[in-house]
Amino acid sequence: MRILEIAATGMMAQQTNVEVISNNIANINTTSFKRGRAEFSDLIYQSQQRQGTFSSDAGTIVPVGVQVGLGVKPAAVARITEQGALQQTGNRLDLALQGRGFFVVQMPDGTQSFTRAGTFQLNPDGAIVTPEGFELDPSITLPNDVTDIEVNRSGEVFAFTPGQQQAQLVGRFTLATFINEAGLEAMGDNMFRETLASGQPLLGLPDEDGVALIRQGYVENSNVNVVEEVTDLISAQRAYEMNAKVIETADQMSQRVSNMR
């Protein structure tokens, strides 16, 4: 009976759906997290009578035909890249991006990664680094005797040191944008990697040519909406239960046939 296999694909699809929703809810407080959405497509069809064929020697054509679907499969987990709300922290090294773009990070193997999580720190050499200790690309290093820093919306970094009345410009952030942000590969630790689907990074300066501006003392919150996720979770649960009910019904039909005398 095809019913069992079809319903089983439905249950597995809804299991994937619940896993995606669960990951969204788990990361509700993750800085700059972008929620995912499971997308599905129908499986190949079996044609018992093909539409458009001749049904008689008089040239009559079958208008619809008979095609039986074989179920559903996961097609993609789309990343929703809409802006998250900005939360003020007061930390001078917390930087939020407002608009399109990613901070560029130099990895230990020499490759570049990209992140929107601007919760930066200083390493022992005074370089601005991610919480994992990875430096920016290009690197920005502060003087050893720095007392305060200021980052303007254009990404320019000014350092205040004792004995100087004016701040010293020590560097400027470079941001990367992509044609298809959803095509980036998530690496964990709020990091993304370039893929063929995302296209090559387009490097630019903050607050110029459609690139995001920088807000110092803020972080970007997750864009997960709790109400939407709970609603989607209930819908996925009901769909899973209905597919399980189909399997139960198919079993009862099979049992009824086998008990016939």
The per-residue pLDDT for range 156-210, each reduced to its tens digit, is 999 999 888 789 999 999 999 999 999 999 999 999 999 999 999 999 999 999 9
Give the pLDDT score at 80.
93
- Beta strands in the chain, from DSSP E residues, in sequence order: 36-42, 45-49, 66-69, 72-79, 86-88, 95-98, 102-106, 112-115, 121-122, 128-129, 148-151, 156-160, 168-172, 175-177, 185-188, 191-193, 202-204, 213-216, 218-220
Average pLDDT over residues 25-38: 95
Residue 158 pLDDT: 96
Dump pLDDT digits (tens) for 91-123: 999 999 999 999 999 999 999 999 999 999 999
Q: Model's pTM, two decimal places?
A: 0.85
Please provide the average confidence, as pLDDT, over all residues in the chain: 92
Core vs surface per residue 73-106: b (16+ CB within 10 A) or e: ebeebebebebbeeeeeeeebbbbbbebbbbbbb
